[in-house]
């Protein structure tokens, strides 16, 4: 069973006529952002741009909104969200924008209502640092960047 929280959403005039983000299936973790643009925007390979969503939100303290690439756009068209996952903090009240990049080999045109990214609302914890001169030992230790190797499954 998943937790449910209420998030206030304010739509801007350029969002008129678009549906509010919603879960596509019963067990979806994310909802899609739609492009709230007046005219098409074409991204050439290697280009990036900011796509307005026409949405502002008020999250409760202890929550963040994460912005992620849509898997189908990434695989089929090479369209990704830069700074992904991006974080929208609970105290931000401005319009959410999506930084899209074309890593594909063909032009990609974003039209009004195109599903450009997905969002996930997540709880987070704040930390208090405890400075120390020693850390506990683990089997991995300081190994990183491929230190666990590449193994075939099965």
Instruction: Characterize 64-99 residue by residue with b for buried, 16 or more Cβ atoms within 10 angstroms of its Cβ, and e for exposed.
Output: bbbbbbbeebbeebbbbbeebbbebebeeeebbbbb
* Proportion of the chain above pLDDT 90, given as a percent: 84
pLDDT-based confidence at residue 52 (cuts at 50, 70, 90) = very high
Is the Cβ–Cβ distance between 116 and 110 less than 8 Å? Answer: yes
The answer, yes or no, to whether residue 147 has pLDDT greater than 90, is no
pLDDT-based confidence at residue 68 (cuts at 50, 70, 90) = very high
pLDDT of residue 103: 97
Class of the 9-123 domain? mainly beta
Region 56-79 average pLDDT: 97
Residue 30 tokens, joined: 């994310």
pLDDT-based confidence at residue 154 (cuts at 50, 70, 90) = low
Region 118-123 average pLDDT: 96
pLDDT-based confidence at residue 143 (cuts at 50, 70, 90) = confident
The answer, yes or no, to whether residue 99 has pLDDT greater than 80, is yes
């Amino acid at each position: 069973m998943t937790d449910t929280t209420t998030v206030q959403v304010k739509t801007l005039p350029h969002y008129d006529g678009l549906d509010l983000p919603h879960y596509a299936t019963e067990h979806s973790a994310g909802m899609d952002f739609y492009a709230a643009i007046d005219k098409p925007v074409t991204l050439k390979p290697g280009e990036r741009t900011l796509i307005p969503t026409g949405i502002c939100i008020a999250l409760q303290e202890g929550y963040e909104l994460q912005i992620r690439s849509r898997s189908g756009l990434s695989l089929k068209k090479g369209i990704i969200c830069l700074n992904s996952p991006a974080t929208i903090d609970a105290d931000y009240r401005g319009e959410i924008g999506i930084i899209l990049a074309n890593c594909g080999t063909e032009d990609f045109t974003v039209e009004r209502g195109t599903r450009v990214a997905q969002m996930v609302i997540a709880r987070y914890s704040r930390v208090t640092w405890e400075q120390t001169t020693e850390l506990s030992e683990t089997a991995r230790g300081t190994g990183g960047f491929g230190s666990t190797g590449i193994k075939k499954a099965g």
